[in-house]
Amino acid sequence: MKAVRLTDTRAKRLKPTAREYSVQDRAVPSLSLRVYPTGTKAWTCSVDGRKVSLGRVELMPVEDARRESLRLQVEGVAPSKDLPTYRVFVEDVWHDTWSKKCKPSTIKGRDHILTRQLLPAFGGLRLDRITRKAIEDWFNAYSASAPGGANHALQLLRQSLNFAVERGLMDSNPARSVLPNRRPKLTRFLSRDEIARLNAALDQHANGRGSVQADIIRLLLLTGCRKGEIVNLKRREVDGSRLRLVDSKTGPRTVYLSPEARAIIKRRMTTAPGAYLFPSPLNPEKPISGELKLWYAIRREIGIEDVRLHDLRHSYASQSVMAGVPLPVVSKLLGHSQCAMTLRYTHAADKDVEAAADRVGARIAELLRIGCE
């Protein structure tokens, strides 16, 4: 942490980065200015090895922060009795700051984590009573049954406590140093042979009880859409050779349909009775359940039980790249807001990489021969 003589002007000029950082005051070394990725800037004071938040920069001039820092060095820090519990903080302070910016599905998911995990574990604790040990014990217990779910919950806990630190309600975030579970990188995608076997299996179910689910699975592969985008597809979102999705993960977007995908959509437009192209068999006014049991049966039939339904989206992206489609276009097809996200979905099969290596090697060998002539 570098030390400079802090001024109000210099404090305002400091820019946020991807990670929070601190700048120490040369005049009063116990005083620092902490800059958060959100743009929030707060004065902090080091007292007996503890980091104490003094207030936000826009509310406290640097001279007041220096005086308060010097006072705390002499008098020490008295424990606060006015801090809210985690439940009160989450429900009365933190929730509104992010829920107004999120989609309903995101709010629902976060509220589920809060209700089922974070509030039962920490809701009754005052913010300054939430310790790293308490977080570790909860996290380890949850990880034993659901390591991925524990990671998501830990991330949400960190976000909430970061906000508490920014508001001056906590000196530091005790969840910050708790490491998430290491998860395997999921890069599975279908080979050409597996796609052919999947297509044959879907054909076998095209006219039976599983015909609706077979159409959904085939559309996922043909469009690269997310499961929810197809399962919840409405008649009014179909526009000829395109789907104009009103609400996808990244907001409204257009999906361009191949002739094979258009044929499925056209058939569903003539057979589906209500607003949804894939209605529930129990209630035509609601979409079919997102649990596609046919998928698990087909996986067993053709020996691809390690493939998730979402891997059909990976496969669509990979086949697009191997067909020579530029990455920005693939990103547009998938509905990604940034090309960097698309890179996680694009993989090349070993046989294709080997063939490419042969072509590149032959080309370089030819250039070497020309150079020797």
pLDDT digits (tens), the chain, 373 positions: 678 899 999 999 999 888 888 899 999 988 999 888 878 888 888 877 677 777 788 878 999 889 988 888 887 765 555 688 999 999 888 988 888 888 777 888 899 999 999 999 999 888 888 999 999 999 999 999 999 899 999 999 999 999 888 887 887 899 998 999 987 666 678 888 999 999 999 988 887 777 889 999 999 999 888 888 999 999 999 998 889 988 777 778 888 888 999 999 999 898 877 889 998 888 888 888 878 889 999 999 999 988 888 888 888 887 787 777 777 777 777 777 666 666 666 655 555 556 667 777 777 777 777 656 5
User: Which residues lie below 8 Å from residue 181, measured CB to CB, with a gap of 6+?
Assistant: 143, 147, 148, 150, 151
Residues 245 and 334 in one domain: yes
Q: How many helices (H) and strands (E) does the chain have?
A: 17, 8
Phi, psi of 26 (to 5 degrees): -70, -30
Instruction: Provide the pLDDT for residue 77.
Output: 61
Tell if the pTM clears 0.75, that is, is over it.
no
Beta-bridge mates of residue 33: 23, 43
297: helix, strand or coil: helix
Going by C-alpha positions, the residue among 223, 254, 233 that lies closest to residue 317 is 223
Asked whether residue 361 is domain-assigned, the answer is no
Asked whether residue 18 is domain-assigned, the answer is yes
Q: Per residue in 142-197, pLDDT tens?
A: 999 999 899 999 999 999 999 888 887 887 899 998 999 987 666 678 888 999 99
Q: Left if phi > 0, otherwise alpha if psi is -120 to 50, otherwise beta: which for 224?
A: left
DSSP state of 287: B
Going by C-alpha positions, the residue among 216, 221, 213 that lies closest to residue 197 is 221
Residues 249 and 118 in one domain: no
- Provide the domain limits for residue 224: 192-350
Residues 313 and 336 in one domain: yes
Asked whether residue 183 is domain-assigned, the answer is no
Residues 204 and 101 in one domain: no
Going by C-alpha positions, the residue among 222, 221, 223 that lies closest to residue 255 is 223
